[in-house]
Structure 1
Amino acid sequence: MKNSLSPQQEKLEQLKQLLPEVFTEGRVDWEKLKLSLGEDININNERYVLNWAGKSNAYKVLQEPTSKTLSPDKSESVDFDKTENLFIEGDNLEALKILQKSYFGKVKMIYIDPPYNTGNDSFIYPDRFKENLENYQKNVGDKDEDGYLIQDSIFKKNRKENGQYHSNWLNMMMPRLYLAKNLLRDDGVIFISIDDNEVHNLRLLMNEIFGEENFVACIVWEKVHTRKNSAKYFSVSHEYILLFAKNKLKWNRVLLPRENIEAYKNPDNHQKGPWKLDPITAHNEYNADYIITKPNGVKLSRPQGSYWRFSENTIKEKIKSNEIVWGDGDSYPMVKRFLSEAQDGLVPITIFHRKFAGDTSYSKKEIDNILTLKGIFEYVKPSLLIKRLMQITIKNNDIILDFFAGSGTTAHAVMQLNAEDGGSRKCISIQLPEICEEKSEAFKAGYKTIADIAKERIRRAGKKIKEDNKDKENIDQLDIGFKVLKVSDSNFREWRTDISSEKLDEQLDLHVDPIAEDASTENMVYELMLKNGKDLNSHIKHHNHIYSISDQENHDENILVLLLEEVNEGVIENVLQENPNKVIALDKLFKNNDQLKTNTALQMQDADIKFETI
């Protein structure tokens, strides 16, 4: 039974009925109350700005570096050594920070479908990355026997009764959007799905981060087409997708492909090629007003309320070049519109109806069929919707990022579009291993986390796409794989200053061996790659105790060499023959041989190679 209101709450409710404008996040804003009552108030620093509780702390979270890294998991990957798609499992804030150096300015399109802040969402992340591991785990809660963070400890419900309902959501979104912007190319764009709960705040937040001048569109997507008569006020059938460019002046919109190209025919072998019929009249296009005489002698005036689409001279030219289909009797003629003269594609409009971009019914059937399980996800976006966004944004070999990957819809859409047009777009998906509720159909089916569902969905979708297109040329070259990488602790122990004198000896041991106990050579390779600006699809060659890492396309240029196994004169000689830009070696491999270390440093200097030891 609901508790009765206290006298104070009753007064607040009465005040809210009289003066709703003086409340902010459920609390009285005293400055607004005084203004509404006509008090003479001098408001300092008046300016147009989006502000909220915790904004300064959100900036601190943004600026704090992370010591985390990404560790490959080949057992969960598909075609690890060849694929260029990535699936990163872990908190997206940490993942975005980890990717900053390697993927800065490389992503063409970002699509995200973040929590909508409906009042029932569990999404407030404990963004405390400056703490040591022990304190961090104490704050976020224990792990289960498999090493997954317990769901109730990771998240907090952001109910509308909370005093900082909107602020909590903004604090979660702001640092992630700033980091995402850094990853976009100068001609890149970001799409964000959202509903009425936060669309107003998101628009202002995006104005602050990307600049109001870089707003492109607010797309309205028809998510459902059934009317809910049980709705209290309106049956909501839409959601929004905000589109911002990093620099609108540099973004070149791609026209949507024509879906009805088959409508163009050439039954009369016209010299201009295939055509279809368009009306000869329009509304006020040329204000043309004249008489057209048909070959059968019928004279036609323009219809009331409309005008001829073309001037009289243009119509005479079209008649002469056989571009008019007259029709019988006194019917109005039609004009041939030729495919050769049509625009390459269609300018997108801001209304995405369900037949064009799919709806929730479409997406539910889609994922149920792929996973052969009903009800595994209640709300997912259709891959058709993401495909439409890609069609107006990215070309055949661009990178798309989704850091709220959910069920893996974006990765599915990328593979589908590549299969259709022979493209080689790459997808980076980031998803937290959020625990599935025990009562959910997903948990019953054996899926422990949302990330597990996404990975399985991508595996199955890739196989299905390839099977559906098996007769298509070069379908064997379609990339349906993905590298799984997991956000994990660094392979190198961190120097700490917040320790007692009793533990100082342990800390001093870092000078001797800074490698963490559970570190592996492969994981160190990937961590050092990332920290030195190499992307995760770089070419890795392992030979003669040397890890040689180069750009995927130019294997002989911009080489990073890692020495993680053994160092001797022979190894150093082989390194010099690689002609790398930079060499990183574990200091302990020199085994206190100062002469070898000094000679190595001098040889690298003479060869103009940057040399570092860890």
Structure 2
Amino acid sequence: MKKLEAGSPDTKSTDIVAGNVEALKTLFPEAFTEGRIDFEVLKGLLGAAVDERDEKYGLNWHGKRRARQIALTPSTGTLLPCPEESVDWETTQNIMIEGDNLEVLKLLQKSYAGKVKLIYIDPPYNTGKDFVYPDDYRDNIANYLELTGQVEGGRKISSNTEASGRFHTDWLSMMYPRLRLARTLLRDDGAIIVSIDDHEQSNLKTILDEIFGEENFIACVANINNMKGRNDRKHIATAHEYFLIYSKREFDSYGVPLTDEQLKDYKYVDERGERYALRDLRKRGRPDRREDRPNMFFPIFYNPETKACALQRRSTNDVEIVPKRGDMSDGRWRWGLDTVRDNLAILHANYSKQKDRWDISHRVYLNKDIEGDIDEESDDDDNIQRTSKPKSFWWGGENSTDVASREFKILFPGLNPDYPKSPFLMEKIVHMGSKPGDLVLDFFAGFGTTGHAVFRLNRVNPNRRFILVQLQEEISEEVAEQTETYKYCKKNGIKPFISEITKERLRRAASLIKSGQHDQKSDFGFRVFKLAPSNIRAWEPDPADIENSLLNNAEHLVQGRSEQDVLYELLLKLGLDLCVPIETKTIAGKAVHSIGGGALIVCLADGLTKDVIESLASGIVTWREALAPAVDTRVVFKDSGFKDDIAKTNMAAILNQNGISDVRGL
């Protein structure tokens, strides 16, 4: 029976370095000598692809090498489940995690690598104020402040000012490893969207180019979030922020929801009672001339009596209509012949007395796409369901910080946070980057606006799910901009931490949405987890007292941790979803847990003597056969639960004889 001990690969997050080495070994086995890389051989194999110049194009700063190494260092922590702080723990697929996001991103690698469709983050902008994110991991925030040079001996000493000499490097060193880890979590068709302002926009784009590849840059969207402008510049008031958007390899945008103003266009109702708008079938805007798309210039025949359109003349009363530009020169249709033929039923002809000519429009339905594909020569994409193609410039009241504050006050009357994100803006972002069934990640969750937006979208299209990560950052009464929030928390029984407001925001948003109309299958719950040191104790001997050291380390699990704590660490370290179903049975008087339909079976009970081994093993085998998992079952026991080595050996032997070969001790 293999033993899971502190320090073994199965008790750590994914070892990215080892994975990189194995990938290289598969591609270039001849570049390895005695298990190590021969870089001279590797250079020769790569030929002209190797750049050996001392000066290279790219962004470098003091600490970049260490930041890169931090991303590659495995984590030994765990996530402790907190059902008492959660909503709908047993059924929800949403997750909210308290803790440093660098460590959390490492812990999520085994379970969620390649599974996230959209990552949105709004990291702390580098405005000269402190940002509490470290390059190392301990247990509490005091260490974070020491690491970033913000406190000394428990007293705050400085801010990350532009005069400090490390204004950019501190921020870049904080962001770089997190973005490296985020990329591995994305699906191949996934995308990351990062909010940023002018201070670091250019630097952030450069490191995103490096991590995701310049070829995967999608857009830099300017979002007008404050029409009045903030007086934070000497000459020009800032009224906008940026969204930098990158794909992992390929990305299909699902469009942004139509605004109220756009919805006004859907004023027509067909014979079935479905709303639609009319769009001009003639192409407007370049390239709109006949010579630009010769195949997309042809006549359409309209019968004023039957109000039907055709591609051939069927009556002497038919009107021949061709696309004409404003100067009456020949234009072109948006669609080719095949698409027009397939959609004749939704075409509409209208006569303009002012222009003395006939034009053709087509119906665009609010609730469904047109039937048939757009001609491959068409460059128009305005038929997406209830959406429009995103532009590189966003503005509107629903995107503003004023609306964001108003919506926040609905949930938290009397509280006015600095520069919140609008849930309507986040709804647009999540809609653009995901569809029902997709997983959305925000690892700078703040006050939980991304989760709120997912809840809103799930009202009518359920099954999007989220993972939010937020540091348990304390709200201080002594910090001027936090005093109001601190007093609100104290008055309303909320612990003064950002992460506590995140959770309370999710609870209140879910309650508000459920009070209105929503799909009964919608998931408005979330599971809370908290970052903590591993449940598995490391060997910590006291050289002066070896005897007591042996006794103290006889139990490999941390005292005070529950079976549930250990179960969820096993999920993380063995690569299972944190929301996977867990079923519990009593077999031979011992609690046995089946995880993921029998992919993992765990028994952490004590008192496993030779008298219960056979019946317990037989019960596990029978249960596993009934579950019939699609993968080989792994069975884990608590090592100290066995009375002696004989009992442990017998258990492994019985399970092995019945086809369960992966049996481990903890």
Q: Which residue of 1 aligns with 2:647?
A: 596
Task: Look up the SS of the partner of 1:220 in the other structure.
Answer: strand
Q: Distance in 2 between matches of 1:269 and 1:477?
A: 31
> Is residue 2:484 matched to residue 1:441?
yes
Amino acid at match of 2:396: R
> Is the Cα–Cα contact under 8 Å of residues 80 and 483 in structure 1 kept in the other structure?
yes
- Equivalent of 1:336, from 355, 361, 373? 361
Task: Look up the SS of the partner of 1:440 in the other structure.
Answer: helix
- Equivalent of 2:220, from 196, 218, 221? 218
Shift of 1:277: 5.4
Over the residues paired in the alignment, what is the CA RMSD in angstroms?
3.8
**Alpha carbons of 1:577 and 1:168: their partners in 2 closer, same or farther (altered >3 Å)?**
same
- Equivalent of 2:435, from 377, 395, 401? 395
**Alpha carbons of 1:267 and 1:326: their partners in 2 closer, same or farther (altered >3 Å)?**
farther
1:489-504 equivalent positions in 2, closer than 5 A = 489-496=533-540, 501-504=543-546
- Equivalent of 2:80, from 49, 61, 71? 71
Q: Distance in 2 between matches of 1:57 and 1:214?
A: 25
Q: Distance in 2 between matches of 1:273 and 1:412?
A: 29
Shift of 1:229: 7.3
> Is residue 2:57 matched to residue 1:87?
no
Shift of 1:604: 2.2
Once the two structures are superposed, residues 185-229 of structure 1 have per-residue CA deviations (whole angstroms, 9 ceiling, x without a partner) of: 121111100011111111111111111111111111111111467
Task: Look up the SS of the partner of 1:443 in the other structure.
Answer: helix
**Alpha carbons of 1:434 and 1:338: their partners in 2 closer, same or farther (altered >3 Å)?**
same
**Alpha carbons of 1:286 and 1:349: their partners in 2 closer, same or farther (altered >3 Å)?**
closer
> Is the Cα–Cα contact under 8 Å of residues 282 and 323 in structure 2 kept in the other structure?
no
1:3-402 equivalent positions in 2, closer than 5 A = 45-120=54-129, 122-129=130-137, 139-140=143-144, 157-227=159-229, 231-248=233-250, 251-258=251-258, 260=262, 263-264=265-266, 276=278, 278=280, 282=284, 285-287=287-289, 307=329, 309-310=331-332, 323-328=348-353, 334-339=359-364, 340=370, 343-345=383-385, 346-355=388-397, 358-375=399-416, 377-402=417-442
Task: Look up the SS of the partner of 1:537 in the other structure.
Answer: coil
- Equivalent of 1:479, from 510, 523, 530? 523
Once the two structures are superposed, residues 332-374 of structure 1 have per-residue CA deviations (whole angstroms, 9 ceiling, x without a partner) of: 655322223762243221111124x511111111111111123
Q: Which residue of 2 aligns with 1:522?
A: 564
- Equivalent of 2:456, from 416, 420, 438? 416
Once the two structures are superposed, residues 398-420 of structure 1 have per-residue CA deviations (whole angstroms, 9 ceiling, x without a partner) of: 1101100000000000000010x
Task: Look up the SS of the partner of 2:352 in the other structure.
Answer: coil
> Is the Cα–Cα contact under 8 Å of residues 563 and 583 in structure 1 kept in the other structure?
no
Amino acid at match of 2:196: I
Shift of 1:152: 6.9
Q: Distance in 1 between matches of 2:344 and 2:582?
A: 66
Shift of 1:265: 5.6
**Alpha carbons of 1:286 and 1:192: their partners in 2 closer, same or farther (altered >3 Å)?**
closer
Q: Distance in 2 between matches of 1:156 and 1:602?
A: 62
Q: Distance in 2 between matches of 1:332 and 1:57?
A: 69
**Alpha carbons of 1:468 and 1:457: their partners in 2 closer, same or farther (altered >3 Å)?**
same
Q: Distance in 2 between matches of 1:155 and 1:214?
A: 41
Q: Which residue of 1 aligns with 2:634?
A: 582
Q: Distance in 1 between matches of 2:637 and 2:56?
A: 53
Once the two structures are superposed, residues 30-74 of structure 1 have per-residue CA deviations (whole angstroms, 9 ceiling, x without a partner) of: xxxxxxxxxxxxx96121122111112212322222221111112
Shift of 1:321: 11
**Alpha carbons of 1:167 and 1:492: their partners in 2 closer, same or farther (altered >3 Å)?**
same
Q: Distance in 1 between matches of 2:617 and 2:217?
A: 53
Identity within the alignment, %:
32
Q: Distance in 1 between matches of 2:62 and 2:79?
A: 32
> Is the Cα–Cα contact under 8 Å of residues 193 and 246 in structure 2 kept in the other structure?
yes
Shift of 1:253: 2.6
Q: Which residue of 1 aligns with 2:26?
A: none
> Is the Cα–Cα contact under 8 Å of residues 289 and 330 in structure 2 kept in the other structure?
yes
- Equivalent of 1:466, from 491, 510, 514? 514
> Is the Cα–Cα contact under 8 Å of residues 269 and 275 in structure 2 kept in the other structure?
no
Q: Which residue of 1 aligns with 2:470?
A: 431
Once the two structures are superposed, residues 110-154 of structure 1 have per-residue CA deviations (whole angstroms, 9 ceiling, x without a partner) of: 10000110112x21433323x7x6xx8884579xxxxxx999779
TM-score normalized by the length of structure 2: 0.73
Once the two structures are superposed, residues 492-516 of structure 1 have per-residue CA deviations (whole angstroms, 9 ceiling, x without a partner) of: 21124xx652254454346621121
> Is the Cα–Cα contact under 8 Å of residues 448 and 468 in structure 2 kept in the other structure?
yes
Amino acid at match of 1:464: L
Once the two structures are superposed, residues 267-289 of structure 1 have per-residue CA deviations (whole angstroms, 9 ceiling, x without a partner) of: 7969x995525396845644369
Once the two structures are superposed, residues 275-306 of structure 1 have per-residue CA deviations (whole angstroms, 9 ceiling, x without a partner) of: 5253968456443699x9x99x9xx9978767
Q: Distance in 1 between matches of 2:347 and 2:144?
A: 75
**Alpha carbons of 1:425 and 1:577: their partners in 2 closer, same or farther (altered >3 Å)?**
same
Amino acid at match of 2:165: G
Q: Which residue of 1 aligns with 2:593?
A: 548
Q: Which residue of 1 aligns with 2:574?
A: 532
Alignment length (residue pairs): 539
Q: Distance in 1 between matches of 2:323 and 2:100?
A: 68
> Is the Cα–Cα contact under 8 Å of residues 126 and 154 in structure 1 kept in the other structure?
no
Q: Distance in 2 between matches of 1:65 and 1:196?
A: 33
**Alpha carbons of 1:139 and 1:444: their partners in 2 closer, same or farther (altered >3 Å)?**
closer
Q: Distance in 1 between matches of 2:436 and 2:152?
A: 40
Shift of 1:607: 2.6
Task: Look up the SS of the partner of 1:535 in the other structure.
Answer: coil
Q: Distance in 2 between matches of 1:417 and 1:535?
A: 23
Shift of 1:329: 5.3
Q: Distance in 1 between matches of 2:270 and 2:243?
A: 45
Amino acid at match of 2:72: Q
Q: Which residue of 1 aligns with 2:505?
A: 457
> Is the Cα–Cα contact under 8 Å of residues 415 and 488 in structure 2 kept in the other structure?
no
Task: Look up the SS of the partner of 1:502 in the other structure.
Answer: coil
Q: Distance in 2 between matches of 1:442 and 1:273?
A: 45
**Alpha carbons of 1:334 and 1:527: their partners in 2 closer, same or farther (altered >3 Å)?**
same
Query: Structure 1 stretches of 5 or more lacking a match?
Result: 1-42, 143-148
**Alpha carbons of 1:332 and 1:320: their partners in 2 closer, same or farther (altered >3 Å)?**
farther
**Alpha carbons of 1:597 and 1:369: their partners in 2 closer, same or farther (altered >3 Å)?**
same
Task: Look up the SS of the partner of 1:519 in the other structure.
Answer: coil
Q: Distance in 1 between matches of 2:327 and 2:284?
A: 9
Q: Distance in 2 between matches of 1:560 and 1:320?
A: 59
